[in-house]
Amino acid sequence: MKLSPISVPYRGLQKGASLLLMLVFVASAGVGPIGGGFVVAIGGIVILSVSIGYELLYYRRFEYVLTEDTLDIRSGVLSRREREIPYRRIQNVDVRRNLVQRALGIAAVNVETAGGSSTEAVIQYVTVAAADSLQTDVRRRKRRSRGSSERDSASEPIESATELFSIEPSELALVGVLSFDPRVPGAVLALLSGSIPFVSPVLLPGDVSGVVLAIGVFVIGVAIISLSWIVGVVSAVVNFWGFRLTRTRDELQYERGLLQRYSGTIPFDKVQTVTIEDNPLKRRFGYATLVVETAGYAPGQGGGRGSEAAVPLASIDRVNRLAHELESFGEPAFTSPPSRVRTRYLIRYLIAIGVLSAIGGAIAWYVGTAFPWYLPVVAAVLTPIAAHYKWIHRGYWLGEDHLVTRNGFWTRERKVVPYYRIQTVIDSRTIFQRRWNIATVIADTAGSLSVMGADAAAVDIDDSYAPDLRAELSDRLQASLVEHRATIDRELGFEWVDETEGSDPSDDDAAPSLSETEPIDPPTDSSPVDTSDRASSLDRASSPDRSDEKSDDEQSSDR
Amino acid sequence: MKTLHPRIRLVWIARSLLAAVIVGAAGGAGSLYLDLPIEYPIAIAVVIFVVGTVHSILRYRKWRYVIREDSLYLERGVLTEVRTVVPLVRIQHVDSRRSAVERVLGLASTVVYTAGSRGADVRIPGLEPDTASDLRERLKRLAIEAEGEDAV
């Protein structure tokens, strides 16, 4: 199948426009206004024709095919690329359209697989109908490839989807009000620091008293904060407009966005962790945020946090119910870190304030103005409260099948990690932690947000207990693996009975013959059969990001 | 518990020497250009080298690893002590590799990959080439025997 023909001019203009912008920059900086205009005009024509020509070739080369077991994509103008992505490796197929794309009736399709910070395949752009059919086809074939007992599901005319969550206008409004975009102050500061040499002569006519300077700083601070708040409101409303979450038998489907419309699916068996977040404001009004993390799914790379199935804001009850629907982890009773840790936090805050004041004092002394550098010291009054909350919010709980951790002084987050999803267990002591005989135990999962260091962690627990916790977590992982295998065996057993008795002759012949030769042969047997084959199966399973192989001549469970 | 090969200290010391030389050279060139005293960059380079050397020696003393029944266990770290448990079922693939410095000193490393995000690759440095290949083969075999699904 091909891309939509509209993608040629659209992509051409898109790529050309950024180059053009750069050209305008360079020209305006380098050449005079008249010469600059001429250069821009000629350059623009050249750039646009080259980029549209390139996109035409790209369009001709790009092709995707849905085969029996894989999604094949052939692409590339200068360097050709052929990819075969096995359906069962696909984590998510997401479709996104921005305002212009919606007007043109085209959509971008991103195919996500595990194991990578980047999207496996980007199909830009196909018609909306093609995008939707790609999404449903992949889902259907994926299910078919998962188990033959589910083969009939492909013929299911309509899947029953239950709505789990849909955002209400009042909630959307609240999301906006409670949003604060922390990237804005950074951006503003970056901009300001660049223009300080130009601004300072205007702002500082001769000598100003320190108080005026302080007031100026305060006003600028307030302006920056309100600006970031406004940006937060707008971006929240634009992002979460019409947010809906529905579930089918084994998938979570989401839809959101005002200007750019996102939609996609997350299979339940790909969910790694569930996170519930709140902050004092949200707690006060009984709201919370829910984030669902899947492996390798990193939407909007570099654009901050991004699980698409995140419920931006809902009442705590709704969030809890939803979280339990995804992972039934029960009611956690957290174990707090030892109380000496509270003292540690207090000291840490005081040191931070001391350093801040010292820097301020040094600057005041160096510049020679009476800048009120001692202002941060006022905050010292608040440190015991902050330390207390930081301490009281920390904790971990070992549930039946889940590890639940809680952290955060302002934004409190509870992370629910099924033991079965744990990848590695790490416990560490920094040089400072050792002085207090405390340690941190981290349960690493294959989640995508964790790249930013937000793993489930039992922080600052007693040193003597850390090795026990580490051992306990790895034992529980092993136990959960055994249990998981048992269920798979059971399911496979049923499947096999299903197959010999209920299979119709029109079925593909491979599966029945397999089940006749080895009746109950779960994939977990440890019989010393061909190790070489198993080795290759390990290799294959090993790199989920390497999808350039056909995989599926493997075990019956994978069919 | 196994320790690393003592020669790994030389690899790490060589690395800190390299860092010291680069910093010293850049700083020295800058000082010459700006007509500043050349002693400072030299002093900084010496400090980097000395600290790096001490760190390398301590690091070697702290490093331990062992293959247990169902996991690979590692202990390391000077300033921050880190202990990692990598369940064998979670091993995705295993590499053994040799950098240029390692080749000169006749050493090799084994790298174990998991699908995790933080401990995605666990590197065991300072092995003799044969040990590294043996370790790789052994971990591969154990991982296959452990029969893990990816759970991702």
Q: Is residue A458 within 8 Å of B71, Cβ to Cβ?
A: no
Most confident of A190-204, A219-233, A292-306: A219-233
Residue A485: the pLDDT is 83
Q: With an 8 Å Cβ cutoff, are B118 and A444 in contact? A: yes
Q: Low-confidence residues of chain B, pLDDT below 50?
A: none
Measure CB to CB from residue A470 to each of B83, B90, B149 and give the nearest one. B83
Task: Tell me the whole-structure pTM to 2 decimals.
Answer: 0.69
The pLDDT tens digits of the residues spanning A496-541 come to: 444 444 444 444 443 343 333 344 344 443 333 333 333 333 343 4
- Confidence at residue A298, expressed as pLDDT on a 0 to 100 scale: 45
Pick the more confident residue, A389 or A196. Answer: A389
Contact A477 B148 (CB under 8 A): no
Helix (H) or strand (E) holding A144: helix A128-146
Q: CA A143 to CA A137: how far, in whole Å?
A: 10
Residue ranges of A 345-374 with Cβ closer than 8 A to chain B: none
C-alpha distances (whole Å) from A153 to each of A84, A139, A146, A160, A249 are 24, 11, 11, 12, 11
Residue A452 phi/psi, 5-degree rounding, is -85, 15
Q: Is B140 on the interface with A (CB under 8 A)?
A: yes
Q: Is A113 within 8 Å of A89 (Cβ atoms)?
A: yes
Q: Could you tell me how many residues make up chain A? A: 559
Are B93 and A539 in contact (CB < 8 Å)? yes
CB proximity A420 to B under 8 Å = yes
Tell me how many residue pairs between chain A and chain B have CB atoms under 8 A apart: 120
Strand, helix or coil for residue A516: helix
Alpha helices in A241-381 (DSSP H): 280-284, 316-326, 340-367
Backbone angles phi, psi at A421, to 5 degrees: -90, -5
User: What is the rounded average pLDDT for all residues in chain A?
Assistant: 75
Q: A153: pLDDT confidence band, cut at 50, 70 and 90?
A: very low
Rounded to 10°, the helix B8-34/B39-62 angle is 160
Q: Check A114 against B143: CB less than 8 A apart.
A: no
The answer to whether A413 contacts chain B (CB < 8 Å) is: no
Q: Which of A420, A426, A471 sits opposite B119 (nearest CB)?
A: A426
- A293-307, A333-347, B91-105: the lowest-pLDDT one: A293-307
pLDDT at residue A150 in the model: 44
Interchain proximity B116–A430, CB inside 8 Å: no
What number is the average pLDDT over the span A339-366? 89
B131 CA to chain A: closest CA distance, Å?
Answer: 20
Instruction: Name the closest residue on chain A to residue B116, using Cα atoms.
Output: A446
Taking the C-alpha atoms of residue A355 and residue A430, their distance in angstroms, rounded to an integer, is 21
Q: What is the pLDDT of residue A506?
A: 43
Pick from A270, A453, A542: CB nearest B92 = A542
Q: Give the mean pLDDT of A185-203.
A: 57
Query: Which distant-in-sequence residues (6+ apart) come within 8 Å of B100 by Cβ?
Result: none
Contacting residues for A277 by C-beta, under 8 A, at least 6 apart? A288, A289, A290, A291, A408, A411, A412, A413, A414
A262 in Cβ contact with A256 (< 8 Å)? yes
User: Which chain A residue has the Cα nearest residue B150?
Assistant: A541
In angstroms, the CA A298 to CA A304 distance is 10
Q: Which residue has the higher pLDDT, A552 or A53?
A: A53
- ipTM of the complex, rounded to two decimals: 0.87
pLDDT given for residue A378 in this prediction: 83
| A162-171 confidence digits (pLDDT tens) | 888 888 888 8
| CA torsion through residues A342, A348, A352, A358, sign | positive
A258 closest CA partner among A233, A275, A230 = A233
What is the structure's pLDDT at A542?
39
Contact A274, A290 (CB under 8 A): yes
Closest CA to A435 of A463, A476, A410: A463
ω into A262 cis (within 30 of 0): no
Q: Which residue on chain A is closest to B114 by alpha carbon? A: A423
CA–CA separation, A415 and A454 (whole Å): 9
| Nearest chain B CA: its distance from A239 CA (Å) | 27
Please tell me the predicted confidence (pLDDT) of residue A522: 40
Do A426 and B85 count as a contact with CB atoms less than 8 A apart?
yes
Task: State the pairing for strand pair A271-278/A287-294.
Answer: antiparallel
- Two tokens, residue A331: 């009611």
Q: Is residue A64 within 8 Å of A72, Cβ to Cβ? A: yes
Residue A421 near residue A272 (C-beta atoms within 8 A): yes
- Element spanning B58, H or E: helix B39-62
For A36, the token pair is: 């600059």
With cut-offs at 50, 70 and 90, classify the pLDDT of residue A117: low
User: What is the model's pLDDT at position A447?
Assistant: 66
Q: What is the pLDDT of residues B42-67, one digit of tens each?
A: 999 999 999 999 999 999 999 999 99
d(Cα A378, Cα A557) in Å, to the nearest integer?
65
Chain B CA closest to residue A88:
B152
Q: Are A406 and A389 in contact (CB under 8 A)?
A: no
What share of chain A in percent tops pLDDT 70? 72
